[in-house]
Every structure is written in structure tokens, then in C-alpha cells.
Structure 1
Amino acid sequence: MRYTFLLYTDPADLAHMTPEDWAAEKEVYGAYIGALNAAGVFVDTDWLQPVTTATTLTLKGGTQVVQDGPFADTKETLGGYFVIDVPDLDAALAWARKCPAAKTGKVEIRATAMGAE
């Protein structure tokens, strides 16, 4: 079963980070990706640009509306994701607990709907 981890963080918590802090953070995430790969559960990941670069589009009501910024104005923003393939939610939770984002923000875990019956 595939699970996606949506990684949420408050950008204010990252504002103080130096280039050295970011380099260390990348190493921590690199080690996590390495562990996922070694376990044979890694599918995909991406780190997103800051929410300030977001553009939102809707065609609701038949009219295109393009908005600068995110869909929702929230304190915590989506910063990236992981997709893993594990047997069940318990295994997904075990990997989510190891995710570096869980220590500074939140990890939302969602099972895939593709192929679900």
C-alpha cells in the first residue's frame, strides 16, 4: 500500500536558519531517504519552494481565477512530501515517526486512493 507523507512546517520556525543549518538539515533528510531506500519502501519525494512562490488556480463555476499565494492562509504550510510503499498504516506510522519533519512540524499520512477498491 502506498502512503504519502505531507510535511507541514511553520515558516517562522525556519526563518532563523543559516546556510549551515540548511546544509545540516539536508544531511538529516538524506539519511532518512537512505534508510527508506535501504528498507525498500522509498517511492518518491520532493522539497517544495516556499509558500510565498505559490500560485493557485480554480475553474470552479466555469471561470478561471488565478491567485498569487497558497490556497489557504495558514500558519503551517506544505513544504514537501514523501511517498512510501509499506504493508499497512502501522508501518507507515513507524516511518512517519522517523521523518525529520515530525520533530519540527507535522506529518500528515494519507493512503493512496489509486487502485483502492
Structure 2
Amino acid sequence: MKFALLMYSDPAETAAMSRDQLREVGRKHERLRAELTAAGILVAGAGMGHADQTTTVRLSGGAQVAGPGPLSAAREQLTAYYVLECASSAEAVGVAERIVDFHVTSVEVRHVHDSFGMVEAGAGVSARS
């Protein structure tokens, strides 16, 4: 099963990090990516651009409207992601637990459908694997 691990942090706190802290975060993710690759579960992953450089396209009054900024004005913003091929949600959560630290303050673990996840009439979607 595929899972997206969506990593969130506070852009203001990231901007205030020292060079040593930034290098520490980089080294941590280099090691983790190498381990996940060696285990054969890393499908993809990347860091995201800063939230203040984001454009969000919304539907407003039936029209598509593009505007500056992230989807939500929350303090924590999406900063990076991994897509993993795991045997279970517990395995994906285990990787997420290794990511949370002083920089990445939360990780959302979300199942990735091989299709767009549209539910067939009368079919349900399980929240857990």
C-alpha cells in the first residue's frame, strides 16, 4: 500500500534556524532516504517551496480564482513529503515517528490510492489498513 507522509513545520521557525541546524536536518533526511531506499519502500519525496511563495487556486462563485498564499493560514505549513510503499499503515506511522523533531513538528500519514480514490456507488473507504 502506498502512503504519503506529509511533513509540516513553522516557516518562521525554519527561517530562524542556524546553519548547523539546517545541516542537521539535511543529514537526517539524507540518512532516512538512504535507509528507506535500501529497504525498497521509498517511492518519491521532496522538499516544498516556502509557503509565502505559494499560489492557491480556489473555486469562488463558480469561477476559478488564483491567489497568493497557502491553502490555510495555519502556523504550520506543508514543507516536504515522502511517498512510501509499506506493508501496513503501522509501518508508515513508524517512519513518520522517526521524522518528527524540532523542525518537522507534525507528519500526516495518508493512504495513497492507485487511482484518484473515487468511491464507487455504495462502497466505503476504510480509514485504517
TM-score in same-fold range (> 0.5): yes
C-alpha displacement of 1:17: 1.3
| TM superposition score normalised by structure 1 | 0.88
Q: Which runs of 4+ in 1 moved over 3 A?
A: none
> Residue in 1 aligned with 2:37?
37
Alpha-carbon RMSD = 1.7
Q: Which runs of 5+ in 2 are unaligned?
A: 120-129
Give the Å deviation of 1:97.
Answer: 1.4
Richer in helix (by share): 1
Matched, 1:28 2:28: yes
Q: Whose RCO is larger (CA < 8 A, sep 6+)? A: 1
Q: Which has the larger radius of gyration?
A: 2
Identical columns (%): 27
> How far is the alpha carbon of 1:90 from its aligned partner?
1.0
**How many residues were matched structurally?**
115
Aligned position for 1:72: 72
**Taking structure 2 as the reference length, what is the TM-score of the superposition?**
0.81
* Within-5 A mapping of 1:96-115: 96-99=96-99, 102-104=100-102, 105-115=105-115
Question: C-alpha separation between the residues in 2 aligned to 1:106 and 1:66?
Answer: 28
Secondary structure at 2:16 match in 1: coil
Q: Distance in 1 between matches of 2:97 and 2:59?
A: 37
Give secondary structure in 2 for the equivalent of 1:64: strand
Deviation (angstroms), 1:25: 1.6
